[in-house]
Amino acid sequence: MTVKIVTDSTADIPPQVAKELGIWVIPLYVHFGSEVYRDGVDLSAAEFYQKLKASKSLPTTASVSPSEFAQICDRLAEQSDEVLAILISSKMSSTYGVALQGKELRKRKDCRVEVIDSQLVLMALGLIVIAAAKEAQAGANLNQIIDMVRRAIPKVHARMAFNTLDYLRKGGRIGAAQALLGTLLSFKPILTIKDGIATPVARERTWAKAVEHLRRFAIGFTNIREMAVAYTTVPEEAAALAQYLNRMFPKERVYISTVGAVTGTHLGPGALGVGVLERD
């Protein structure tokens, strides 16, 4: 049987790609006061960012429960005897810990379930999940896919440009980028993910220079397995960046990913990023 690949909605994998590759995406939750929405299910990205801009307070986010994860595993056990969940960094979310608890609550113990803390988020996580799903479709077994994932995680590189760090600060997800807050002024910060948390790598004086930074970063790689552009509320700029990268890498498919409600809560409007997964 084909190994079933599971991730959470913070991977922001385009829905059509997830469908084509048979990836099971667990929607996490976003709360606007007493209103609760499943990420990517109950609220479109456009609707979410409208609510985010209008909200006087930052929405909160939450993982699924251990019992929900167990139910998903039991459902997938009807289709396969091997399941691999590749999830958001445990330093950013409780989802990994919840999955470990849920794994023990399963009724279908005849199905082997493994859980990996990717130490990633957004399409940096998504690229790993896509690569794993392609391996599964090609017939790789669970051990082979786990080995590939562990080798691939250090080969994921990502950069994201921000118009503001206010949402990361308010949501408590700013990590090492906290040091930038007092010195930014009109600068546009560039962050990456290092050791599972948001980490500053550069700052540019203008948004145009920030976008150029992302271009230079992406074209610095030559041995590319997968590539993605992610954005919150700048679809035209994301499309332009993807088109530019497609010209540079005609043999590569550049995924365009819309950042959903859970990660968008912490990134805020006006964010644009690029992720690259290198080949072995």
pLDDT class for 1, splitting at 50, 70, 90? confident
Q: Are residues 114 and 128 in the same domain?
A: yes
Q: What is the pLDDT of residue 170?
A: 67
Clarify whether residues 114 and 217 are in a common domain.
no
pTM attached to this predicted model: 0.93
Q: Indicate if the pLDDT at residue 242 is higher than 50.
A: yes
Domain termination site, one of 153, 176, 194? 153
Domain boundary among 94, 122, 153: 153
Residue 180 has pLDDT above 60, yes or no: no
> pLDDT band at residue 248, thresholds of 50, 70 and 90?
confident
Residues 25 and 81 in one domain: yes
Q: Quick one: 26 and 134 in the same domain?
A: yes
CA nearest to 132, candidates 230, 23, 33, 233: 23
**Statement to judge: residues 75 and 100 lie in one domain:** yes
pLDDT confidence of 280, banded at 50, 70, 90? confident
Share of the chain above pLDDT 90, in %: 81
| Number of domains composing the chain | 2
| CATH of residue 74 | 3.40.50.10170
Which structural domain, as residue segments, surrounds residue 96?
4-153
Q: Are residues 118 and 166 in the same domain?
A: no
Per-residue pLDDT, 198: 87
Are 190 and 179 members of one domain? yes
